[in-house]
Amino acid sequence: MSGSGRSKSSSGGNDNNDTNNSISLRTALFALIFAFVLMAFTMPSFIQRLFRPMSTAMGVTGGGGGSPRPAIPEGAEKATVGAGCFWGVEHLYRKHFGDKGLYDARVGYTGGDATNPNYKQVCSGKTGHNEALLIYYDPSRITYRQLLEFFYRMHDPTTINRQGPDTGTNYRSGIYFHNEEQEKVAKEVTQQANEQWYKGKIVTEVVPAGPWWDAEDYHQLYLSKNPWGYECPSHFLRPFEPLEQK
């Protein structure tokens, strides 16, 4: 009897252990599934950014953008800026100026040495190019000063070769002026933003505009085509008071 009792007790203990192990395994599995679902909803930008360089490696890019441009009316002016990943820069400018006199905005590369660079080459840092935005606008509805004040509100101009988690010379802050008047305004706005908004920390380069190369087609209007695509977390409008002009 006693031997039978010991055997029964031992068997019951094993059954309990098996049940506990099974419950623990199911709990761990459910926790893992929940973590992946949560990541899918809360980190789409990270995932997009993680796989962004693979598009060039897989042959998606070409030797510059070839998509047709909308007709630019006579009398339009242009402005060129660099403020980190050009997907978000284009998206914000289109969002805020699209119905206020912005004719077109193209993402591309400027400030480097190579001819007709592609995205992979620019990301290597070897060509010296910056990811930039070329804006065509109606000067009777938008002023160059407005575009630059917006520029200093929508990104962080205090980090050298960096915007948010994106690092490299192709993410530097820059204003590329097209004439003497733009140079004058760019330097004035930069000085005022530096004194009134950023307390002397601005590192933005203000230099003449050089050769421009359109980025590959899949970069154009990227966030309009891919709403869940990556947008640099430093791209948002700072709630600054208007600049005081002296």
Q: Is 85 a catalytic residue?
A: yes
Query: Which is catalytic among the residues 85, 122, 132, 148?
Result: 85
Q: Which residues contact 198 (CB under 8 A, 6 or more apart)?
A: 152, 157, 158
**How buried is residue 2: exposed, middle or buried, by Cβ count under 10 Å (0-12/13-18/19+)?**
exposed
DSSP element (H, E) containing 214? strand 213-214
Other C-beta atoms within 10 Å of 8: how many?
Answer: 10
φ/ψ bin of 229: left (φ > 0), alpha (ψ from -120 to 50), beta (otherwise): beta
Q: Which residues contact 4 (CB under 8 A, 6 or more apart)?
A: none
User: What is the three-class DSSP state of 190?
Assistant: helix
User: How far is Cα 29 from Cα 216, in angstroms, rounded to an integer?
Assistant: 42
User: What is the three-class DSSP state of 164?
Assistant: coil
Catalytic residues: 85
